[in-house]
């Protein structure tokens, strides 16, 4: 019995010692730090320049069309959102008086043309008769007085023909003037496009803009065949730009999607609206015609102008790079973090090219705001 009691006491002491050692180990154990890792890979790295403030999509051709004179709207030939061809009639004011004047001028031109034709035919006949009598007079078959009279009639008929031609030109000029006056009551599309806005209804009066006082246009016409983004670039970067550079365009309306573009214009001056951030405006054309069909003038847009690109570079996310070009590399064998110095090439906001210090397949920490990051810390991938 005593031996059994002693054995039981020994087992209790062993268990207590094991619990004590376990508690000591637990309090002293090193916890694993969860970190976000990115696998080093090969891919495209670009050196880019981006806009400082949001840009705006604009049309290469957009006209705020107005009437040269006032009047009452008689006919609206189009509606908002309608596609129109160049020269198509958009809006017409009341113009019955000018139509009548134009018709009258057309009749006067027709009458003048017929009168000229008649007189010129008579002049031709008189000239032939004068030549015939002159020939007969040379042969002494008719008197000199008769031949001279025929010559006088021929010259008079020729003058009448020329005068009729002058009257015809006067009638033609009168018709042209009346047609121009009629055209002032008709608003036509100067180019093919889409009617964005119409200001005025049938029966309303439209008034041209007085000097210095802008008035709403009668029709706002937009040509969607050519769209571009105008955006400001910091003056520090402007010197590296040249027309023709490729560009990527991103829009809030199409998040996660990029559109191809090309730098078309660099403003020849620096904007001084913001004294602490002077900028140069640039225009980037959309190069894909299919993209233009999805876009609307006025969308906000951002641009990335590609100055240089390396197609098969070793790259890491730029957010993984720390000061002095160092990164935290995860060692899978020891599960510890190593601070590694790297050599870098070109970079942008997304990726940085690595020319030395890392190899494809290495895993680097991207969650640099994590508390407790340090050389030699035990870590575990947060997504594992």
pLDDT for 89-143, tens place per residue? 999 999 999 999 999 999 999 999 999 999 999 999 999 988 998 898 888 888 8
Q: pLDDT value at position 16?
A: 62
Tell me which DSSP letter residue 60 carries.
E
pLDDT band at 24 (very low <50, low <70, confident <90, very high): very low
List pLDDT tens digits, range 226-265: 999 999 999 888 889 999 999 999 999 998 899 999 999 9
pLDDT over 60 at 367, yes or no: yes
CB count within 10 Å of CB 359 equals 9
Alpha carbons 64 and 76: distance in angstroms, whole number? 16
Q: For residue 33, what are the contacts with CB-CB under 8 A and spacing of at least 6?
A: 337, 370, 372, 373, 377, 378, 379, 380
pLDDT band at 274 (very low <50, low <70, confident <90, very high): low
Alpha carbons 64 and 90: distance in angstroms, whole number? 13
CB count within 10 Å of CB 79 equals 8
Query: Which residue has tokens 């009458």?
Result: 111
Q: pLDDT value at position 348?
A: 85
Q: pLDDT value at position 28?
A: 42
What does the pLDDT average to over 189-213?
85
What are the CA-CA distances from residue 72 to residues 76, 91, 187, 202 (Å)?
11, 11, 13, 8
Q: For residue 327, what are the contacts with CB-CB under 8 A and spacing of at least 6?
A: 316, 320, 321, 339, 340, 342, 357, 358, 364, 365
The whole-model pTM stands at 0.69
Phi-psi map region of 223: left, alpha, beta (phi>0 left; psi -120 to 50 alpha): beta
Residues 381/32, Cβ–Cβ less than 8 Å: no
Burial of 372 (0-12, 13-18, 19+ CB in 10 A): exposed
What does the pLDDT average to over 12-40?
67
Query: Which residue has tokens 């520090």?
Result: 236
Share of the chain above pLDDT 70, in %: 89
Determine phi and psi for 239, rounding to 5 degrees.
-65, -20
CA 370 centroid distance within chain: 42
């Amino acid at each position: 019995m005593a031996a059994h009691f002693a054995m039981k006491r020994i087992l209790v002491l062993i268990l207590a010692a094991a619990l004590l050692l376990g508690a000591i180990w637990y309090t002293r154990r090193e916890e694993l730090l969860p970190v976000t890792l990115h696998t080093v890979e090969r891919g495209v790295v670009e050196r880019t320049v981006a806009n400082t403030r949001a840009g705006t999509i604009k049309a290469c051709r957009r006209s705020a069309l107005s009437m040269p004179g006032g009047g009452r709207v008689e006919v609206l030939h189009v509606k908002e959102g309608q596609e129109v061809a160049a020269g198509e009639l958009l809006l017409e004011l009341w113009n019955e008086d000018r139509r009548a004047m134009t018709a009258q001028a057309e009749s006067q031109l027709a009458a003048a043309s017929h009168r000229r034709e008649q007189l010129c035919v008579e002049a031709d006949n008189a000239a032939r008769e004068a030549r015939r009598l002159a020939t007969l007079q040379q042969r002494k078959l008719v008197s000199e007085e008769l031949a001279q009279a025929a010559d006088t009639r021929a010259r008079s008929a020729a003058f009448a023909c020329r005068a009729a031609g002058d009257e015809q030109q006067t009638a033609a000029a009168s018709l042209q003037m009346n047609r121009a006056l009629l055209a002032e009551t008709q608003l036509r599309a100067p180019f093919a496009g889409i009617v964005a806005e119409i200001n005025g209804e049938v029966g309303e009066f439209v008034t041209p803009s007085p000097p210095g006082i802008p008035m709403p246009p009668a029709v706002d016409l937009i040509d969607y065949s050519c769209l571009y983004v105008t955006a400001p670039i910091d003056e520090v970067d402007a010197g590296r730009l040249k027309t023709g550079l490729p560009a990527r365009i991103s829009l809030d309306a199409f998040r996660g999607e990029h559109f191809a573009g090309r730098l078309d214009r660099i403003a020849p001056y620096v904007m001084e609206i913001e004294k602490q951030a002077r900028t140069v405006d640039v225009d980037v054309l959309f190069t894909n015609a299919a993209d233009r069909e999805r876009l609307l003038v006025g969308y906000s847009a951002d641009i990335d102008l590609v100055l240089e690109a390396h197609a098969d570079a070793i790259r890491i996310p730029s957010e993984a790079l720390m000061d002095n070009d160092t990164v935290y590399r995860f060692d899978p064998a020891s599960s510890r973090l190593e601070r590694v110095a790297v050599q870098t090439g070109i970079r942008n906001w997304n990726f940085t090219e690595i020319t030395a210090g890392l190899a494809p397949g290495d895993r680097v920490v991207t969650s640099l705001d994590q508390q407790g990051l340090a050389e030699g810390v035990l870590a575990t991938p947060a997504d594992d």
